[in-house]
């Protein structure tokens, strides 16, 4: 189709030219000469004018055809008078099949009825603009046009419509997709002015805040939703400094007043001058998440407190025997911080004799051969002492049932073992005491007779040799009598004569009694008692006997180990107890005999040097006073004896007991580390 053919505005072939008019009027005489020249000139000017008009129309046509917007002209009854190329492309028809046809033949929507209803108002106003939804008849496609319609007026009367329509289908589809997304998002979306007025909000935000409709929410100022108004001020201040604030945790109040916790991601939108024109952002309700996290934290905290409060130490090991978890009870039982043990291997601090049983138990559980096991072992305390532990273990499995390690609880049995030994010893001592009492009573009578007859013989004899022999008999008989008295004191210890005592003064007095002997044997004594008053209730004579026995034992141990040494005597307050310590730098107590040193008649001294009752009597006296006595070897050498006494309260008064009997002989019985003890 040619341009001339496609342009309904251009002249058509049936339109007469000036030349044809002249020929019809009979004025074109070709033989007349001059008049013919004039006619040719007039004809040339008309043709030039016609060409100019034609070129102008052609240029105008090309201009409107080059536009991307649709242009059209209609009569009031819907006949198409003129269209541009964009219209023809959308209709998918040539110009010849468009011009002169009714618009209703090309489009299904809007319908003719709808157009007729709107026509009177348009004729009255002579102008309309808006978005039209158009469905094309040939393709069935739906397009949206942003239209501007103007009335074509002739002689003051509206005779047609001219229109300019911009295809906004893509924008409308994008807007529809955005609206759909906007309304279906689970997150709340909002748009507000700088002063807090809502411009828009999606359904999720309406539901999140508990309002009945979007319109109801839009009437609320955003600042009224904050549980703490200062939070909005801080948010706006941050948005002044940066374009976007991401996932800021805030607390809002629903319509019913209940608080909700949200993550707010906000952006400040500015105009060309940098002024904020609106805020937009999203809100994610994390109230339930926070509640679950808090509940989980509470459960974890409960589990942690449960493990921490459990009397046993809890440990977890992997399949390689490395500690992956250690409870805080480790600090109390073995002196290590849990962090010091995590990552270490099982058995590093275990006694060599017990390590194999531990490793075997772990291996059998990891291999699935055992589901439960108990083992006792010795392990090293941070202070260097050995502790007896009893561990109960079972395999640790993951969700699939695969064994990933071993979980175990361990309890310090050292004190229990010591108490068991004490009970055993007490039972043994009780039985032995009954026997000793009878033996001592039976020995007293012959010893009395021997001493009496020996005295008579010494008075009657004048021979020096015989007298020396009688003197030896007397000394040995008196020594036997002292042993009998010790046996009686051990089997039936007299009740202490209870008086209020300042333990500081009693210790100082005892040390002074033996200070000379220590000095002669090159043993320095360090007296470390800071408190001025260490009140206890007890028998000063019996306690002095205990202290002297320990001092003498320490003196003998140091003297047989090296030429000089040191004895440290100390006392301190420990809550409602008072502790007294005697520490020497001798050889210490061999581990093999340490559990037996308080047994009666146990001694390593040479015959005639001790009866083995000294420490046994010390323990009996301490029990009578409600205290304890313990002994251990120190890693750096030497022995440490620790005595504890109940601290006297203001309510304690002197409570005298039985009259004191003959005191037990103050002889050293067991010198730790001494060759003979």
Of the residues 375, 410, 445, the one at which a domain ends = 410
Q: Are residues 526 and 546 in the same domain?
A: yes
Q: Are residues 201 and 284 in the same domain?
A: yes
Supply the pTM of this predicted model: 0.41
**pLDDT value at residue 521:** 85
CATH number at residue 476: 1.10.287
State how far the Cα of 32 lies from the Cα of 19, in Å rounded to an integer.
17
Cα–Cα–Cα angle for 439, 442, 446, rounded to 5 degrees: 130
Q: Are residues 245 and 217 in the same domain?
A: yes
Q: What is the mean pLDDT of the chain?
A: 81
Q: Are residues 421 and 384 in the same domain?
A: no
pLDDT of 32 higher than 50: no
- Supply the range of the domain harboring residue 594: 499-646
State how far the Cα of 208 lies from the Cα of 231, in Å rounded to an integer.
19
Q: Are residues 315 and 397 in the same domain?
A: yes
Output the CA–CA distances (angstroms, integers) from residue 230 to 139, 195, 269, in the order listed: 59, 14, 22
Q: Are residues 284 and 316 in the same domain?
A: no
Reported confidence tier of residue 556, pLDDT bands at 50, 70, 90: confident
Q: Which of 6-10, 533-537, 547-551 has the lowest mean pLDDT?
A: 6-10
State how far the Cα of 502 lies from the Cα of 535, in Å rounded to an integer.
5
Partners of 127 in the beta sheet? Answer: 150
State how far the Cα of 384 lies from the Cα of 635, in Å rounded to an integer.
6
Model pLDDT for residues 440-485, shown as the tens digit of each residue: 777 777 888 888 888 888 888 878 888 888 888 888 888 788 777 7
Tokens 């107890």 belong to which residue?
A: 577
Q: CB under 8 Å to 374, separation ≥6 — which residues?
A: 390, 391, 392, 393
Contact 35, 22 (CB under 8 A): no
pLDDT of 551 higher than 60: yes
Contact 624, 495 (CB under 8 A): yes
**pLDDT value at residue 60:** 66
**pLDDT value at residue 323:** 94
State how far the Cα of 31 lies from the Cα of 525, in Å rounded to an integer.
166
Domain count of the fold of the chain: 5
Model pLDDT for residues 106-148, shown as the tens digit of each residue: 998 998 888 889 999 999 999 999 999 999 888 888 889 999 9
According to DSSP H, which parts of 212-253 are helical? Answer: 214-218, 229-241
Q: Are residues 473 and 588 in the same domain?
A: no
Q: Are residues 518 and 641 in the same domain?
A: yes
pLDDT of 226 higher than 80: yes
Query: In this structure, is residue 663 part of a structural domain?
Result: no
Q: What's the rounded mean pLDDT across residues 18-39? A: 45
**pLDDT value at residue 455:** 85
Query: In this structure, is residue 483 part of a structural domain?
Result: yes
pLDDT of 83 higher than 50: yes
Q: Which of 151-160, 211-220, 444-453, 594-603 has the lowest mean pLDDT?
A: 594-603
Of 62, 98, 104, 67, the residue nearest 82 (C-alpha): 98
Model pLDDT for residues 628-648, shown as the tens digit of each residue: 999 998 888 889 999 999 998
Model pLDDT for residues 478-509, shown as the tens digit of each residue: 878 877 776 666 555 555 577 899 999 999 88
Query: In this structure, is residue 104 part of a structural domain?
Result: no
Q: What's the rounded mean pLDDT across residues 383-403? A: 91
**pLDDT value at residue 665:** 33
Partners of 500 in the beta sheet? Answer: 537
Tokens for 1, please give them.
């189709």
pLDDT of 267 higher than 90: yes
Q: Are residues 458 and 522 in the same domain?
A: no
Model pLDDT for residues 324-342, shown as the tens digit of each residue: 999 988 988 899 999 999 9
Which helix (H) or strand (E) element contains residue 451? helix 414-460
Q: Are residues 534 and 579 in the same domain?
A: yes
Contact 343, 302 (CB under 8 A): no
Tokens 């997304």 belong to which residue?
A: 181
CATH number at residue 622: 3.30.565.10
Query: In this structure, is residue 49 part of a structural domain?
Result: yes
pLDDT of 15 higher than 60: no
Q: Are residues 512 and 487 in the same domain?
A: no
Query: In this structure, is residue 376 part of a structural domain?
Result: yes
Cis status of the peptide bond prior to 249, with omega within 30 of 0: no
Q: Are residues 192 and 271 in the same domain?
A: yes
State how far the Cα of 552 lies from the Cα of 668, in Å rounded to an integer.
6
Percent of the residues in the chain that have a pLDDT greater than 90, as a whole number = 31
Q: What's the rounded mean pLDDT across residues 172-189? A: 77
Query: In this structure, is residue 262 part of a structural domain?
Result: yes
Query: In this structure, is residue 117 part of a structural domain?
Result: no
Query: In this structure, is residue 15 part of a structural domain?
Result: yes
Contact 317, 406 (CB under 8 A): yes
More confident residue, 290 or 611: 290
Contact 308, 329 (CB under 8 A): yes
Q: CB under 8 Å to 600, separation ≥6 — which residues?
A: 429, 432, 490, 612, 613, 616
Bridging pattern class, strands 403-412 and 386-397: antiparallel
CATH number at residue 247: 3.30.450.20
**pLDDT value at residue 39:** 58
State how far the Cα of 504 lies from the Cα of 528, in Å rounded to an integer.
10
């Amino acid at each position: 189709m040619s341009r001339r053919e496609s342009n309904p505005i251009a002249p058509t072939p049936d339109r007469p030219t000036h030349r044809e008019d002249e020929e019809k009027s009979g004025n074109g005489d070709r033989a007349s000469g001059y008049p013919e020249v004039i006619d040719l000139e007039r004809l040339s000017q008309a043709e030039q004018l016609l060409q100019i008009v034609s070129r102008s129309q052609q240029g105008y046509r090309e201009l409107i055809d080059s536009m991307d917007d649709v242009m059209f002209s209609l009569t009031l009854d819907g006949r198409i008078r003129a269209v541009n190329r964009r219209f023809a492309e959308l209709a998918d028809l040539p110009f010849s099949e468009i011009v002169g046809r009714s618009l209703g033949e090309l489009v299904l929507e809007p319908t003719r009825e709808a157009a007729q209803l709107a026509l009177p108002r348009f004729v009255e106003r002579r102008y309309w603009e808006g978005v039209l939804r158009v469905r094309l008849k040939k393709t069935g496609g739906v397009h949206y046009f942003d239209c501007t319609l103007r009335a074509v007026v002739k002689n003051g009367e509206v005779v047609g419509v001219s229109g300019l329509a911009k295809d906004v289908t893509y924008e409308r589809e994008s807007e529809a997709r955005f609206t759909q997304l906007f309304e279906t998002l689970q997150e709340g979306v909002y748009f507000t002015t700088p002063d807090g007025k809502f411009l828009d909000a999606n359904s999720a935000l309406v539901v999140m805040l508990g309002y009945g409709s979007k319109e109801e929410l839009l009437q609320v100022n955003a600042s009224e939703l904050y549980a703490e108004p200062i939070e909005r001020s801080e948010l706006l201040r941050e948005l002044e400094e940066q374009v976007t604030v991401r996932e800021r945790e805030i607390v809002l109040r629903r319509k019913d007043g209940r608080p909700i916790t949200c993550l707010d991601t906000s952006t400040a939108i500015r105009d060309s001058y940098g002024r904020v024109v609106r805020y937009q952002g999203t809100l994610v309700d994390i109230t339930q998440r926070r509640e679950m996290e808090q509940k989980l934290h509470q459960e974890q905290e409960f589990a942690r407190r449960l493990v921490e409060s459990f009397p046993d130490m809890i440990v977890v090991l992997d399949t390689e025997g490395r500690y992956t978890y250690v409870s805080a009870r480790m600090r109390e039982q073995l002196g290590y911080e849990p962090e010091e043990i995590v990552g270490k291997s099982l058995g590093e601090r275990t006694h060599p004799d017990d390590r194999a049983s531990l490793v075997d138990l772990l291996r059998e559980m990891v291999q699935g051969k055992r589901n439960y096991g108990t083992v006792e072992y010795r392990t090293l305390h941070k202070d260097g002492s050995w502790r007896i532990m009893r561990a109960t273990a079972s395999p640790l499995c993951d969700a699939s049932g695969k064994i990933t390690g071993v979980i175990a609880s361990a309890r310090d049995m050292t004190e229990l073992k010591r108490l068991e030994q004490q009970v055993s010893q007490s039972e043994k001592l009780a039985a032995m005491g009954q026997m000793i009492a009878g033996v001592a009573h039976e020995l007293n009578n012959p010893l009395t007779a021997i001493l009496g007859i020996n005295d008579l013989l010494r008075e009657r004899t004048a021979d020096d040799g015989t007298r020396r022999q009688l003197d030896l008999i007397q000394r040995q008989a008196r020594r036997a009598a002292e042993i009998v008295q010790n046996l009686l004191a051990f089997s039936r210890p007299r009740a202490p004569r209870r008086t209020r005592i300042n333990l500081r003064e009693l210790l100082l007095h005892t040390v002074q009694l033996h200070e000379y002997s220590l000095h002669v044997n090159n043993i320095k004594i360090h007296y470390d008692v800071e408190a001025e008053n260490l009140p206890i209730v007890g028998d000063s004579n019996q306690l002095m006997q205990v202290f002297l026995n320990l001092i003498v034992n320490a003196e003998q141990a140091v003297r047989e180990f090296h030429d000089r040494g040191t004895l440290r005597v100390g006392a301190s307050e420990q809550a409602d107890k008072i502790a007294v310590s005697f520490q020497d730098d001798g050889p210490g107590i061999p581990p093999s005999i340490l559990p037996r040193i308080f047994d009666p008649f146990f001694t390593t001294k040479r015959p005639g040097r001790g009866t083995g009752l000294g420490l046994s009597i010390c323990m009996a006296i301490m029990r009578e006073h409600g205290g304890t006595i313990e002994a251990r070897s120190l890693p750096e050498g030497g022995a440490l004896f620790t005595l504890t006494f109940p601290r006297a309260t203001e309510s304690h008064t002197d409570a005298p007991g039985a009259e004191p009997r003959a005191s037990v002989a103050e002889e050293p019985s067991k010198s730790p580390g001494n060759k003979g003890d």
